[in-house]
């Protein structure tokens, strides 16, 4: 009888230990391996910004035929650079990491160029010199436009005001000046190109910046 009791308590303790280990493992999975990005409103805005953008799986290498570039689409990443910075490597990791790890799980990046708060341009998906969007230049920037567009995105675009998340032009002056230079560069390269905001082809506030005012200055830049 005593032996049976010992076996019972041993099994009971083992079961309790197993439950504790399993609980800790599930907690670690939730907090570390599968992080919740919505720790605050501004973090949540960044992740929500990309939640309805999917990879165009119809653009397959074997069947892809390069089309002439028609659009340069300006974006923002929906962040507040005064509180959190997004480096190019962070963006690349986010775009390509599995969904289970908080990423998008894409095979390509969301933009060709990323313009950070200090006005630095970073190549995410390099653009070559010809007039076609080759397979290597493809991005997931705007549904239905990826094969005929190149994309530039600015760091910034949202802030929390009185406890509510708002789309805000919080871009630095040096960002705006560099954006004008980049747009002029591509306008000179492809005179026919149409420069538009993401909000012109999607139900978003992106790029938030007043693109019409920016474009008024493009033609006067040398």
Q: Span 83-95, mean pLDDT?
A: 96
Structure tokens at 22: 């399993």
What lies within 8 Å, CB to CB, of 202 at 6+ separation is 142, 143
Q: How far apart are CA 140 and CA 138, in angstroms?
A: 7
Q: Which residues contact 150 (CB under 8 A, 6 or more apart)?
A: 69, 71, 72, 73, 112, 113, 127, 133, 137, 139, 186
For residue 28, pLDDT beyond 70: no
Query: Full-prediction pTM beyond 0.85?
Result: no
Average pLDDT over residues 107-120: 97
Which residue in this structure is represented by tokens 């035929």? Answer: 65
Under a CB-based contact definition with an 8 Å cutoff, are residues 194 and 71 in contact?
Answer: yes
In the chain, DSSP assigns E strands to 67-68, 71-76, 113-115, 121-123, 132-133, 149-154, 158-161, 164-167, 194-197
Lowest mean pLDDT among 32-41, 48-57, 101-110: 32-41
Within 8 A by CB and 6+ apart from 82, the residues are 159, 170
- Is the pLDDT reported for residue 33 higher than 60? no
Q: Which of 116, 88, 109 is nearest to 179 (CA)?
A: 116
Place of tokens 């019409």: 212
Over residues 101-111, the pLDDT tens digits come to 999 999 999 99
Confidence band of 16 (pLDDT split at 50, 70, 90): low
Per-residue pLDDT of 158-215, as tens digits, reads 999 998 999 999 999 999 999 999 999 999 999 999 999 999 999 999 999 999 999 9
DSSP 3-state percent helix, strand, coil across the chain (nearest 5): 40, 15, 40
Residue 14 CB contacts under 8 Å (≥ 6 apart), including other chains: none
Question: What's the CA gap between 171 and 179, in Å, rounded?
Answer: 11
């Amino acid at each position: 009888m005593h032996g049976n009791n010992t076996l019972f308590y041993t099994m009971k303790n083992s079961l309790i230990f197993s439950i504790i280990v399993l609980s800790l493992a599930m907690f670690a999975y939730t907090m570390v391996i599968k992080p919740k990005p919505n720790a605050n409103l501004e973090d949540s805005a960044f992740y929500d910004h990309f939640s309805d953008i999917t990879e165009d799986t119809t653009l397959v290498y074997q069947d892809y035929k390069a089309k002439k570039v028609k659009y340069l689409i300006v974006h923002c990443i929906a962040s507040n650079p005064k509180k959190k910075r997004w480096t190019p490597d962070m963006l690349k990791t986010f775009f390509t990491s599995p969904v289970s790890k908080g990423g998008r799980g894409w095979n390509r990046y969301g933009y060709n160029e990323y313009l950070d708060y200090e006005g630095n341009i970073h190549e995410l998906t390099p653009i070559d010199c010809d007039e076609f969007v080759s397979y290597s230049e493809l991005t997931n920037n705007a549904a239905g436009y990826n094969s005929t567009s190149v994309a530039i995105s600015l760091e910034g675009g949202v802030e929390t005001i009185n406890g509510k998340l708002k789309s805000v032009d919080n871009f630095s002056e040096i960002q705006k000046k560099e954006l004008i230079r980049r747009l002029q560069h591509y306008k000179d390269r492809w005179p026919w190109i149409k420069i538009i905001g993401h909000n012109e082809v999607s139900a978003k506030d992106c790029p938030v910046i007043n693109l019409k005012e920016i474009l008024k200055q493009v033609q006067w830049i040398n």
